[in-house]
Structure 1
Amino acid sequence: MQTVVLRFYVSEKQHHQGELLYEWLLRLGQRLELPGGSAFRAIAGFGKHGRLHEETFFELAGELAVAVEFIIDEQSAERLLAAVGAEKIKLNYVSYTVESGTTRI
């Protein structure tokens, strides 16, 4: 089946409407009745400023990225992007078409 992967990249400490942005995105997906969504936390990375961020034992305030991903049909991806846009949030995202399915036992 042809589906779309829609992945947003946010900071793990970014907020919107009083909650963590990655949680807000997942709740938005629930409100739009999407079949599912997941958030994945980075262990290391760097951004446009070139500064490397890594999780360390002593680091308390995280600055790492969280990828929030939905594997959905194209119409659902458009609805989700429109809903995020209506909130006037500037987010980085990628979207690409994939083949998805379930293996048989």
Structure 2
Amino acid sequence: MQTVVIRFYVSERQHHHSELMHEWLLRLAQQLELPGGSAFRAIAGYGRHRHMHDETFFELAGELAVAVEFILEAEQADRLIAAIDAEQLQLHYVRYAVEFKATAGK
């Protein structure tokens, strides 16, 4: 079994079917009965246009990235991508193999 991390990058105000994109992605994963996911909001950054975005600038509110991340079996990640493709969405993501382990806590 290969474990992968798949991380999508969306705008914090990007929508799909009247729902914030990061919320839609998490709900889709729930519907696919995937084991879990998290959304992380950026505090600053820039994209391909080299325009700096920072949460301290009021006029840029809603312009920061949200990373939506899942740790899945490769087959589960494939199902998630297929479901997104079925919606004809173009989302940027990274996918890479990882080892998923736990410490020997008591």
Please state which band the TM-score falls in when normalised by the shorter chain. Answer: over 0.9
State the Cα distance separating 1:104 from its structure 2 match. Answer: 1.2
Give the CA RMSD over aligned residues: 1.4
Which residues of 2 match residues 1-105 of structure 1 at below 5 A? 2-56=2-56, 58-59=58-59, 61-105=61-105
Aligned counterparts of 1:57 and 1:11: Cα–Cα separation in 2: 16
For the residue of structure 1 that corresponds to 2:6, the secondary structure is strand
State the Cα distance separating 1:101 from its structure 2 match. Answer: 1.2
Deviation sequence 1:53-102 (CA, Å, 0-9, x none)? 00116357320000000000000000000000000110000000000111
| Structure 1: 5+ residue stretches without partners | none
Normalising by the residue count of structure 1, what TM-score does the alignment of the two structures yield? 0.94
Mapped contact 1:5–1:71 kept (Cα < 8 A): yes
Normalising by the residue count of structure 2, what TM-score does the alignment of the two structures yield? 0.94
Between Structure 1 and Structure 2, how many residues are aligned? Answer: 105
Find runs of 4+ consecutive structure 1 residues off by over 4 angstroms: none
For the residue of structure 2 that corresponds to 1:35, the secondary structure is coil
Mapped contact 1:2–1:100 kept (Cα < 8 A): no
The residue identity in structure 2 corresponding to 1:47 is G
State the Cα distance separating 1:48 from its structure 2 match. Answer: 1.1
| Structure 2: 5+ residue stretches without partners | none
Mapped contact 2:53–2:60 kept (Cα < 8 A): no
Aligned counterparts of 1:54 and 1:61: Cα–Cα separation in 2: 8
Aligned counterparts of 1:39 and 1:93: Cα–Cα separation in 2: 13
Aligned counterparts of 1:29 and 1:103: Cα–Cα separation in 2: 26
